[in-house]
Structure 1
Amino acid sequence: MAPSNEADPGPSHGDVTGRVLVVDDDPTVSEVVAGYLERAGYTVERAADGPAALDAAARHRPDLVVLDLMLPGMDGLEVCRRLRARADGRPSVPVVMLTARGDEDDRILGLEVGADDYVTKPFSPRELVLRVRSVLRRASSAAPAGEPRLMAAGLAVDPAARRATRDGAELPLTLREFDLLVYFLRHPGQVCDRERLMREVWGWDFGDLSTVTVHVRRLRSKIERDPADPQLIRTVWGAGYRFEAGPYPSDRPTAGAGTRAEDGRA
């Protein structure tokens, strides 16, 4: 972690505050992170391992979890899986994962199990606070009053209630998956490259584009009939993704050939 003598971000007008659970077995890291978050206006609880984190989350559901990937015993991936499994139809608790710098495989695994964001070690505590703010702000943002439900191909999304169904069944979407689906539904037929999605959905002007790739893959696994042959979120090679609105494409009288779902460049 970067030295902690940098400018403290502190609370600012209009920021969303809430309860944050910090999970890290390194007491120094945990203390510094908790201190920055508390000075930024958050209520912070700390846990040093996976079981303690799950117990804390069960006692008092946090608004966000800052979760170290490399925990003793039960690692951060398993903790994230179990947090997701406990959602019980409610919106999932957002998770910001702490990963080792340069360990892309671990970073992608964290996103695959449902982390909403990540920060690599060594990291700036101020950067972490800004990421936490960004995730919580998006999680608490309300859709405009009276906005109609978004519907296409058996999908029904209520942006205000942050609920999504497919053929009437509730979809267990993470924060970013939900926002990504809403963005696609609002921009049907448009080719969206990963840079645009990162800017519009994540609110970042730069970052690791594999974050977008992983979230598209996870979203496909939940909304496509055959995620290996996606008909709704189509890959436009070398350009990005395009959402196909209307009836499910394979139900149309003249269905076109499917596009395989290997996400290389797009």
Structure 2
Amino acid sequence: MVTKRSVLVVDEMPETREVLRTVLQRRGVEIIEATEGDQGLRLAQQHRPDLIVLDLQVESACPQSTFDGFEHQSQTHHTPLVVLGNARRDRALLPGGEFVSKPYQYGTLIRKIEELLDQRVDSDVAVRHPRR
């Protein structure tokens, strides 16, 4: 049985959420959406996504505390994180996760998401069926 992969998108921009939802759902990925950091943290605990996309410019959230929240939650500690932000300002603040600099092209972001989801599937298979 194949388990459906899921991605949590934390981004206040409806356009970004819509593009990712449309493209990734066509590829069999379930999309969970949040418009701000605290909501994203709650949804991550509830749904345990396979990957999280976090825009650091979400309203009403301190980027560092939201990022730290994902890093320190037991449910999301090992979940791959794609961080969208300003290369100069944000990359130095957030050493973990995959970083995609703004402005970005959706194709680049989608390829990064698919790459990380594929790695996650490969590692899950290796854990379930270790080589002897």
Q: Tell me whether the two structures share a fold, i.e. TM-score over 0.5.
A: yes
Deviation at 1:18, TM superposition (A): 0.8
Task: Please show how residues 36-51 of structure 1 align to structure 2 within 5 Å.
Answer: 36-51=23-38
Query: What whole-Å deviation, never above 9, does each CA across 1:102-140 have from its counterpart, x for those lacking one?
Result: x32312322x2x22x121222222211110111122223
Asked if the contact 1:65/1:96 (under 8 Å) is kept, the reply is: yes
Q: 1:122 aligns with which of 87, 103, 109?
A: 103
Instruction: Confirm or deny that 1:98 pairs with 2:98.
Output: no
RMSD (CA atoms): 2.1
* Per-residue CA distance 1:189-243 (angstroms, 9 max, x = gap): xxxxxxxxxxxxxxxxxxxxxxxxxxxxxxxxxxxxxxxxxxxxxxxxxxxxxxx
The aligned residue for residue 131 of structure 1 is 112
Instruction: Answer yes or no: is the 8 Å Cα contact 2:52–2:79 preserved in 1.
Output: yes
User: Which ranges in structure 1 are unaligned for 5 or more consecutive residues?
Assistant: 1-15, 147-266
Alpha-carbon spacing, 1:136–1:76, altered in 2? closer, same or farther (3 Å): farther
SS of structure 1 residue aligned to 2:116: helix
Structure with the greater relative contact order (CA < 8 A, sep ≥ 6): 1 or 2?
2
Which has the larger Rg? 1
Q: Which residue of 2 aligns with 1:73?
A: 60
Quick one: structure 1 residues 74 and 91, their matched pair in 2 at CA, closer, same or farther if it must change by over 3 Å?
closer
- Picking from 57, 60, 72, the partner of 1:85 is 72
**What is the aligned length?**
125
Kept in 2: contact 1:23–1:49 (CA 8 A):
yes
- 2:89 alignment partner, SS class: helix
CA distance in 2, matches of 1:141, 1:109: 30
> Equivalences for 1:179-198 in 2 at 5 Å?
none
Q: CA deviation at 1:91?
A: 5.6
Structure 2: runs of 5 or more not aligned: none
Tell me the secondary structure at the aligned position of residue 101 of structure 2: strand
In the alignment, is the contact (CA less than 8 A) between 1:36 and 1:126 conserved in 2?
no
Distance (whole Å) between structure 1 residues aligned to residue 108 and residue 53 of structure 2: 13
Task: Return the alpha-carbon distance in structure 2 between the equivalents of residues 108 and 38 of structure 1.
Answer: 32
Tell me which amino acid in the other structure corresponds to 1:118.
F
Q: Secondary structure of 2:40's match?
A: helix
State the alpha-carbon separation in 1 of the partners of residues 100 and 24 from structure 2: 15
Query: 1 CA distance for matches of 2:81 and 2:60?
Result: 19
8 A Cα contact 2:70 2:77, kept in partner: no
SS of the counterpart of 2:71?
helix
Overall identity of the aligned pairs, in %:
30
More helix by share: 2
Q: Determine the C-alpha separation between the residues in 2 that align with 1:77 and 1:62.
A: 20
Q: 1:1-266 counterparts in 2 under 5 A?
A: 18-87=5-74, 92-100=78-86, 103-110=87-94, 112=95, 114-115=96-97, 117-142=98-123, 143=126, 145-146=131-132
Which letter maps to 2:16?
A: V
